[in-house]
Structures are given as structure tokens and as C-alpha cells.
A and B are shown apart, each in its own frame.
Chain A
Amino acid sequence: MKKQDWKFMQVFGDKASSDNVSDEDIISAVQFERTGRFLGLGDRAGRLIVFEVPQTKKKDKAEYQYLTELQSHTREFDFLKSTDIEEKINQVQWLRGQGKNMYVLTTNDKTVKLWKISEKNVTKVIKPSGKDLAMPKLQVVESGLIPSVRKVFPNLHNYHINSLTASNNEEFVLTSDDLKVYLWSVEQPSKAFVAVDLKPENLDELSEVITSSTFHPTLDNQFLYTTSKGIIKLCDMRKSGICDNTAITMAEPEDPAKKNFFTEIVTSISDACFSRNGKYIFSRDFLTVKVWDIAMANKPVATVQVFEPLKSKLCDLYENECIFDKFSIASTLDSNSFITGNFNSTFHVVDRMGECNQQYELNFNKKTIVRQIPPKYFENLGSSYDFNRKVQKLSMCQTQNLVAVACLNCLYFYTA
């Protein structure tokens, strides 16, 4: 398999701002639009920021530029439970544009919204209708890209929404929280369908929660969801209404010999995705990535240690709670590799056989710093290893080998 060499392309952010990051600027969601022309970013302050590649005559790889932003969600108070509902954007999904209009779905913990960003003229009445009942005279006060909320998907989830995906045909939206996976119709937000229900009869018996879900990249009737027990379930909406009973389960049986205090925590899957060709599933848990072949459900074809030195630091990670951090994963265009983030401003590109693990270090010097991580690698992680610089969110472009990687409040682009 041809090794992919990723190179630094662009960065938004600099060292100064990155040293003093305010919590609200931390990027919490990244997503390319399907043509790759736009990129959407969500942050903890509830903002959606859109970047675009301006359409120029130049054919070579143009760079992204800031286009516009909007305040997607605001902090709310849940009166029933007496808790705050954070405005942090958990996920961003683009829908097909129409003409010059852009459509984006955003979600926080509770509410999904469909935003439309379009070139508009905002008008104001300057001369109202009088006794003659003439039509009011209008004047344009603002012109340009104006966002508006087109649809709000009513507050249905009892727990925090962890994933949001749109099907390829954009008829459906899949959202999941700890116990349920819902299927929404984009046309009619008032109709939601329960696709998976993990709620036990007695909540005290709860032992497994849903951690993420995603649609198949091309088949609109298939989706997967992952659980805290490291199980992946592949569901087919065509087979049945409630999809859980007919799902294919992919789980590796637990090896009792290797079990320790941390096993339960680190086997929880933080994110999973299909390979672009739909043949494989890449699932990320705290220490490893497992590559599954859809045709073989009893064991993964490869298990890759993302960065083994972390294994020896589990106690510290538990102390500073970084052991609960969730990392995203994405498949490359040729489906032969996957990309996932790590601590200390690094991300890894690994081939799906698990043979070649390359670690890239993010930096502000426009350099591509990469090193090979051999299997059974050990390194003493000293005090310079920064657990706060987490690369948790990334997004792969669907049309070219381009990945957007977010670390704290900075956004990096790498191409291959």
C-alpha cells in the first residue's frame, strides 16, 4: 500500500493566542462541506464559523479564508432538571446547497438546528403606509451573507446528544444520546423515529451507554452505533423498524487476563467511522484503533496501538481526567488509512493493516514534523508532554486528500 505523505498546508491561529486559550474559543466540532469548498467549525461558545476556498481563476490548491460566522446556540437553563444546557457545539453537518444558499445542521447537547446562510438584502420600512393605504417604502439596510434558522428539531433527547449525521440522500438525520438513537426527517422536524433504544426496564441496571453513531457514507439505510463497552453495532433500516434486534454486532471478547482497573474506561469507543468505500469500520477508543472488516464480525482485522507510551501513564491520566477524553477518527479517501488525534498537539496517520504509524506534530512554523512510530514503541513522557494540547476533532474532505485538524482554538490543514 502506497504510504501517504501528509504535508502542512495552512493554519488558523498563532502561538500567542494558543498560549492563553479562553475556554470558549476551544473548537468542539469540525466538518467539511461535501464539495470541499466550505468548512464549518463549532466552538464552545456556541458559534459556527465558516471558511471557504474563494473561487479564483488559479487552478492550484487555493487556501481557505474566513467567510462568515453565526451564533448558533446560546446557554439555556433546563427548568425541569435545574441544570444548565451548554451552548457548546457538539457536531456540525453540511447539507447540499441550493444556488448560493448554504445549509448547515448544528447541535449542542439538546437541540439540533438547521441554519441557512444566504446572500440577502435586509430591508427596513422607511415610510409606513398612510391614509392612502400605499405599500410601505423599503430600504436596504444590510446586504451580504445573512444566516437564518430554518428548522429547529424539538427537544427530544433526554440525555446529551453525542452525534449528528445526515444520510447521503439527506432525507434523514441520525442523532444519538446515551440511551437512544433517533432518526429524524429533515423535511418534518416534528416526526422522529426511535431506531435504537437501549433503555433497560430498571435504570439501576444500566451498564452500557451509546457513545457515538454515524451513517454509512453511501448506503442510506445503514448506520452504526458504538457503546461504552467497546461494541459496534451495524444496523440496517431496511430490515426492521427498531434496528437493534437485527443488527450485526462487532465486539472483541474481553481477555480476563489483561483486565485491570482501567480496562472498562479505555475500551469505551469515543468515535467510529466507515472507510470511504464502506468496507471497513475504524473505531477509536482511548488507547487503540480497531479496524473491522464488515464481512467479518467476530474479530477485528487489526488493532493498532495509537501511542503506546500512554499505557504507562494511565494512573496520571486518570488523576487529571484526561482518560475520559474523546478523540475523533476519519478515513482517508482511498480507504487505506485512517487519521486520529492524540495529546501533545499530535495526530496519527496509520494504514489499515496497522503497519505504518506516522505521528505528525502540529506547530506554528508551517513545517511538517513527522516521525515514524514503530510497533512496541516506548518513550518516557516527560513534563514537556502536554496533555492539555488535545487534538480531538478532525474532518476529512470528501473530494481530495485534505484533512482539517483542530487543536484547542487553532485549525490546521494538511494535504497529501
Chain B
Amino acid sequence: MPKIENTTGMPINLIIDELKSDDIRKRIHSVKHLDLIASTIGPDRTKNELIPFIQELLDDDDEVLIELVDSLSRNFVELVGGQAQVLLPTFEALCRVEDASVREKAANQIKKCLTQLPDQKKVEELSIGIIKRLNDSDYYMAKNAVAILIPAIFNQVSQNNQNDLINIILKLSQDQIPQVRKFTSMYFQDLVKHFPLINETFIQNILNSFIKDEQDFIRMYIVDALIQSSKTPFFQKQQNFILNMFKQLAEDQSWRVRFYFCDKLAEIGEAVTKDGYRKNFQNYHLKFLQDAEPEMKSIAALKIERVSGLMDPEDILNKLIPLLKTIQSDTNAFVRNALASSVLALCPIIGKKNTSEQILPIFLTLLKDQDSEVRITLFKKLSLITNVLGVDSLSQSVIPALTELAQDKNWRIRASTIEVLSFFARAIGPEFLSDKVLKLLLDWMGDKVSSVRQTAIQQTAQLISILGLAWADKNLLTKIWAFQSIQNYLHRLTVLFTINQITSQLTNDYILKTIVPILQAMAKDSVANIRSNVCRTSIQLAKEKGGNIADPMKKILQTLSDDQDAEVKYQAKSALESL
């Protein structure tokens, strides 16, 4: 592999020393560049010196360990000359640390290394060794990796070893420490994929013991295991068992378990097919929409988008939509927000007439919601309803709402609303960007807050890329160029910033015809800041466009190199030199 270039500005031996620096930031920096060290000293020395030295780094803060595992995950197999097994002891040690993300990454890296070893027998020997050592460790958190590794290698080992691994899982699932049972439950979904190597009785026994567990976070993950097992032949054989267990979880007394179930409804629906969903789970979703706990209503509302594809349109009309009327006026904004993000997905399914009668009222209510976040979320999904009802019929209600948001006291709301415009342009097309909407964009370009102006300029660039330069020039750009004559220099600057942003989308002809005169005029502006920015814009145009643009730009810069302001003069001169 090609040698890694040292771009740190530090000599390699200093980077090596700083691996043990007292300053944590220096240690992190050095750990980030382990690949550089390895590449410099070569694979043999990396194998014999660097990797053993890394053992000394394992007793460090979580922040450093997170960097370490990431660093070792990039190309290190190549850096040790392709001998992946050299890295295994380090990753095994990292499976024992306190930080869960480090343990998981380390376990996944062990998986990756094992796949790169050619000798199958060796793989079996090494993996069983690692699993047994971690399982016997004093550190109970090491069992996390055991739960991750066993499913990964299960089908590659002998029958005897498989029996041992099954026994390990059995013991872990009954461990007295809840976290250990949690690890087992989280990764059981990977183990069930090996059915029928993992037999029916075993799966049922484990799931039965988990569902009786008093810990919420252990029952929760059964959902994933059930989904995965539904994708295997286990489903045909034990359909009732799986469905009953799903139902128990949907009715769990802990709302967090019900929440997790609801979150996975779409995946459950796919696994049990539409008929299965309608018969068994549809009612639960409808119940969740009426749950006393606001978090439940929120997740149920959020899932409408994905679950609606599984439902019969009749049911959507008769059973689902009536419930939404209460949700649209829920006291919790996050519930209404969830509704706003997914209710419009129903429009294409139920057709024009029903949309107009049933969804449009909900849409209009949410459009006037007191919480601006809700309104913005609704806007982002606008195309779903305009595709069904048409833009014109809606613009009467949408434009005023958009205008209100555009003038919101909170500048962050104004900035978010601007981003909605490109949604419109992309999904609906230029008809939506009527005079009124474009006026809003121009108002944003003249907003008091510079972040808002920035966002507006970026949106302009987006609109040009979606709708084309000709459209933009006719409807938008000419008006922006008019900003040149505004008294407040900040708005005149907007002209220049806009040119900077849209350079790549301008044609040379357009530049010669329209931009050059602007720059020539602004080069004579009384405010030095403007003239300074003219320099910047000119040099950018010259460099990016070249050709027949370079000369007029040079002329402008030459005029400015005689400027009375020292800064402008310096800028113009160095710009000319670089050309």
C-alpha cells in the first residue's frame, strides 16, 4: 500500500512520544496518526514493536480509547503486512473496557479480522479462544463482546464447539447481572438467523426467559429477535409463538417497551406480510395513537407514513383518520410535529376526493399551529399533498402561512423556512415560486440577521441549479442586482456574496453582459469594504472561469491597485500577481 504522507507538521518520533503525553489532546492527536507511524516504520516493525506498545495505551480515558479503536480500524491489516491475527490481542483487550461503543467496535473488528484469515481451522481455534477468555473474565462487561462474536462465527465451527457456544449463551441469558442479560438479548437477533443450526426449542426457551425478565431493556430487544426469526423458516413452523410474543410486547406494562415495538412496526409489518399486519397489529397502532403517554402518541404518529402502505385504504379512512383529529390538537408540540411529518403520506393512498375531505382540514389546522417547528415540518412534506390536490388550490392557504413564518421574530425560524423553498422548487416546480414567494426570498436577502441573508444566498444558488439560469435571471437575479443602490452597505455586499456563491452556475456570456458592469460600478463604491470584496469576487471569477473573463477582471483589479485604501490596494496587487 502507498506510504502515508506526514501532513502533521511534526517529526514522527515526537508523535510517537506524545502517545504517552500528559496532555490528553496530544495523546488523542498521536493516536489518530497511528497509521502514519505504522506506515513509516514498515509492517515488520509495526508488528513487532508498535502493536505490543499499544498495550501500554489501553489504560486510558474513554476519549482516547474511542480514537484508538477507530484508528486501528482503518487499514491496519495492511499496515501489519496482511497478517490480521496480529491485531487480535489488541482488539480482545479493547473488548474489556468500560465504554460500550469501544467494546462494540473492537468486537466488530475482531469479526472483520477473522474473515480475512484464510485457514478455517485457525479461525475456529482463535475465535473460540477469544470467546472463552472474554467469557471467563472478571470484567462482566467483557461478555458484551461474547454476545456479539458468537453469532458471527457460529456457523463456521464444529458441532462440539457449537454446543459449547449454546451453553455459554444459555448461561449469559440467566446471569444475575442485568447488563449481561441485556447484551445477550440485544444480539440474540443475530443468533436466530442461524436457524435451523440453532434449534427451535433453544430459541423458544431463551425468548420465554427474556419475556419474563423484569428488566424493560431485556424484554425490549425481543422485538428485534422476533423480526429476524420471522425472516427464517422458523416463522412458518412457529407462527403462533412469534405472533403471541409480539402481542405480549405490544401490551407490555412499560411504555418504553411498547415504544420500541411501535418504532419497529414497519419492519414487523414487512416480516409478517400485509395480511398478518392487518389481522394482528393494525389495532395496536391505532391504540397507541390514543395512549395516555405522549411519547407513545408521538411515535405512533411518526409511523403513520410507513405503516399506511400496509393498511387497507378503507381502514385508513374509517379507523385511522378519525383518530388524527384529536392528535392535531394535542397539547404537546412534539406529538403534533410527529403528525405533521407523516400525515401527508396518506394523500396519495386515499385519492383526491378523500384527501380534500379528510386530510385538507388537518393540513390547514397544522398550518396555523402556534409552534413554528410544526409548520416547518409540514412544509417539508408539502409536495405529497400538492401532487394530489394541485398547487393552485393550496397556494391560497400555504402562501400566507409561509409569509408568516418568513417574518417570524426568531431568526432561526426564518432561516429554516428559507430552506423549504428548494423543497418546493424540486418537488413542485417553478409554478409554486410565484411573485409572492419570490418577494419573500428577496426580503430574506435583505434581512437584518446575516445568517438569514447567508441562507437566502445559498438558496438562490440551489434554485438556479434546480430551475436554471434563465428562469433565475428573469425572476430573481435582476432584482438582486438592484440591491446595488441600497444605502446600507451590508445589502450592497449581498450582491457580491451572491455572485461568489453562484459563480459556477453562470455562463461567461452572462458574466460579460451583466456581472462585469456591476463590478465596474461597485469598484467605485465609497465604502472600502465593498471595494475590497470586489477584489475577492474578481479574482474568484478570473480563476474559476478564465477565458475571456480574465481580462475584464484584470482591468478592474488594476484600477483598484491604485486605491486610496491600503487594504484594497494590497489585495488588488496580490490578486494580480497570482494571476
The complex places the Cα of A138 from the Cα of B62 at a distance, in Å, of 22
The complex places the Cα of A116 from the Cα of B16 at a distance, in Å, of 27
Interface centre among A120, A124, A133, by most B CB within 10 Å? A133
Q: With an 8 A cutoff between CB atoms, is A382 at the interface?
A: no
**Surface stretch bound by B, among A9-17, A236-244, A347-355:** A236-244
Kindly supply a per-residue 1/0 record for chain B positions 463-500, scoring 1 wherever the CB is within 8 Å of any chain A CB and 0 otherwise: 00000000000000000000000000000000000000
Q: With an 8 A cutoff between CB atoms, is B119 at the interface?
A: no
- Are A123 and B294 closer than 8 Å at their CB atoms? no
Q: With an 8 A cutoff between CB atoms, is B292 at the interface?
A: yes
The complex places the Cα of A125 from the Cα of B26 at a distance, in Å, of 15
- Are A241 and B293 closer than 8 Å at their CB atoms? yes
Kindly supply a per-residue 1/0 record for chain A positions 225-248, scoring 1 wherever the CB is within 8 Å of any chain B CB and 0 otherwise: 000000000000111110000000
- Are B215 and A123 closer than 8 Å at their CB atoms? no
Q: In whole Å, how far is B186's beta carbon from the nearest beta carbon of chain A?
A: 13
The complex places the Cα of A187 from the Cα of B100 at a distance, in Å, of 7
- Are B255 and A239 closer than 8 Å at their CB atoms? yes
Chain B residues positioned under 8 Å from A219 (CB to CB): 214
Q: In whole Å, how far is A221's beta carbon from the nearest beta carbon of chain B?
A: 7
Q: With an 8 A cutoff between CB atoms, is A258 at the interface?
A: no
- Are B17 and A129 closer than 8 Å at their CB atoms? yes
User: Would A98 and B140 be within 8 Å (CB), given that A129-B13, A150-B62, A169-B215 are in contact?
Assistant: yes
**Surface stretch bound by A, among B49-57, B241-249, B279-287, B345-353:** B49-57
Chain A residues positioned under 8 Å from B37 (CB to CB): 133
Chain B residues positioned under 8 Å from A374 (CB to CB): none
User: Would A240 and B293 be within 8 Å (CB), given that A98-B139, A133-B40, A150-B98 are in contact?
Assistant: yes
Q: With an 8 A cutoff between CB atoms, is A136 at the interface?
A: yes
- Are B20 and A221 closer than 8 Å at their CB atoms? no
- Are B293 and A128 closer than 8 Å at their CB atoms? no
The complex places the Cα of A134 from the Cα of B141 at a distance, in Å, of 34
Partner of B217, one of A124, A125, A128, A171: A171
Q: With an 8 A cutoff between CB atoms, is B59 at the interface?
A: yes
Kindly supply a per-residue 1/0 record for chain A positions 68-107, scoring 1 wherever the CB is within 8 Å of any chain B CB and 0 otherwise: 0000000000000000000000000000101111000000
Closest-by-CB residue of A relative to B252 is A238
Q: In whole Å, how far is B40's beta carbon from the nearest beta carbon of chain A?
A: 7
Chain A residues positioned under 8 Å from B13 (CB to CB): 128-131, 133
Chain A residues positioned under 8 Å from B10 (CB to CB): none
- Are B53 and A135 closer than 8 Å at their CB atoms? yes
User: Would A238 and B179 be within 8 Å (CB), given that A131-B13, A136-B17 are in contact?
Assistant: no
- Are B17 and A125 closer than 8 Å at their CB atoms? yes
Partner of A220, one of B49, B62, B215: B215
Closest-by-CB residue of A relative to B291 is A240
Q: With an 8 A cutoff between CB atoms, is A63 at the interface?
A: no
Q: With an 8 A cutoff between CB atoms, is B138 at the interface?
A: yes
Q: With an 8 A cutoff between CB atoms, is A170 at the interface?
A: yes
Chain B residues positioned under 8 Å from A221 (CB to CB): 216, 254
Partner of A135, one of B40, B50, B139: B50
- Are A98 and B19 closer than 8 Å at their CB atoms? no
Q: In whole Å, how far is B358's beta carbon from the nearest beta carbon of chain A?
A: 30
- Are B12 and A133 closer than 8 Å at their CB atoms? yes
- Are B293 and A138 closer than 8 Å at their CB atoms? no
The complex places the Cα of A37 from the Cα of B551 at a distance, in Å, of 84
The complex places the Cα of A80 from the Cα of B188 at a distance, in Å, of 49
Q: With an 8 A cutoff between CB atoms, is B41 at the interface?
A: yes
The complex places the Cα of A148 from the Cα of B49 at a distance, in Å, of 28
Chain A residues positioned under 8 Å from B305 (CB to CB): none
The complex places the Cα of A110 from the Cα of B293 at a distance, in Å, of 30
Instruction: Give the interface of B toward A (CB within 8 A).
Output: 12-14, 16-17, 19-20, 37, 40-41, 45, 49-50, 52-53, 56, 59, 61-62, 98, 100, 137-141, 177-179, 214-217, 253-256, 292-295
List 7 tightest A-B contacts by C-beta distance, closest first: A99-B138, A238-B254, A169-B178, A129-B16, A129-B13, A135-B53, A98-B139
Q: List 14 A-B contacts (CB under 8 A).
A: A96-B140, A96-B177, A99-B137, A99-B138, A125-B20, A129-B13, A129-B16, A135-B49, A136-B20, A170-B178, A221-B216, A237-B256, A241-B255, A241-B294
